[in-house]
Amino acid sequence: MALYAIGDLHLHFQSVLKAPAQLRDRVWKNHEEKFRKNCEKLIAAEDTLVLAGDHSWGRKLSECEQDLDYIRSLPGRKILTRGNHDMFWDAKKTKQLNGLYRPELTFLQDSYEVYRDYALVGTKGYTFEGPFWIDRRGRVVDWDAEEEAHAKKLVERELARLRTSFELAKDDGFRKFIMFLHYPPTNILEERSGFTDMAEEYGAEQVIYAHCHGESRFYDSIHGEFRGRQYHLVSGDYLRWHPMKVLD
Ligand SMILES: [Fe+2]
Ligand SMILES: [Fe+2]
């Protein structure tokens, strides 16, 4: 039995693909087929795969059904968390989605899922992505203060959702956590954030995040050890469509 993760499938079986990188870059060519083959080689029926957001380009559920059917047809138990592009998934209507797709798919929001003695907790997250102003040496010298203030509100909302997820698991007796975000846990300055603090507060062993895709974005946030936790980027193109093993 193993736990795997990947994010940013950006499927588009029923929607018009407009993302230039996805149209242009080789890594995205037939990525659905590459990913399916990798999953079929790697993942057994008793395994769990967490998909960390940006599942579909569809703007409403009727434009995502084939994408969700594709995910449903992959091996193992599938847990989905929200990404910024998942317009089909209103956080407040997660229960209805689960009603439609359970038991094959689980939409994780304001709740947790169990893997062995771990609670899998998560939310979309948020981070201020700029604009930043950078000097000739590549150092950040300033940023858009108005945008940053707006980002702070979104971060607070996501932190509250994440805390709900942790607290429900804690109330049920869980002491071991794997934390999933869609957005990276920090901005490009890679300083402590509410998300890294919460990972530390509850003792999450690993923080898994996605969203950073395209080679220029892969190192926007933390990789590896940071203040006692392990951080892993699992965007699909970064992993070249091989799900990352999180736990045995
Ligand atoms: Fe994405
Ligand atoms: Fe994203």
Q: What are phi and psi of 68, to 5 degrees?
A: -70, -35
Judged on CB neighbours under 10 Å (0-12, 13-18, 19+), 136 is exposed
The radius of gyration of the chain's CA atoms, rounded to the nearest angstrom, is 17
What pLDDT score does 145 carry? Answer: 84
Pairwise CA distance, residues 132 & 148, whole Å: 10
Ligand 1 is a single-atom ion; what residues have CB below 5 A from it? Answer: 8, 54
Ligand nearest to the CA of 124: 2
d(CA 239, CA 226) in angstroms, rounded, equals 21
pTM over 0.85: yes
Taking the CA of 214 as reference, the closest ligand is 1
Q: Residue 131: what pLDDT?
A: 80
Residue 106: strand, helix, or coil: strand
140: closest CA among 128, 148, 131, 150? 131
What is the C-alpha to C-alpha distance for residues 200 and 203, in angstroms, rounded to an integer? 5
Instruction: Identify the DSSP state of 228.
Output: T
C-alpha 173 to ligand 2 mean position (Å): 32
Alpha carbons 121 and 114: distance in angstroms, whole number:
9
Q: How far apart are CA 181 and CA 136, in angstroms?
A: 32
* pLDDT the model gives residue 122: 97
pLDDT digits (tens, 9 = 90+) for 136-183: 887 888 888 888 888 899 999 999 999 999 999 999 999 999 999 999
**Which residues of the chain are modeled with pLDDT < 50?**
none
The predicted pLDDT at position 27 comes to 94
CA atoms within 13 A on the CB side of 66: 9
Question: How far apart are the CA of 84 and the centre of ligand 1, in A?
Answer: 7
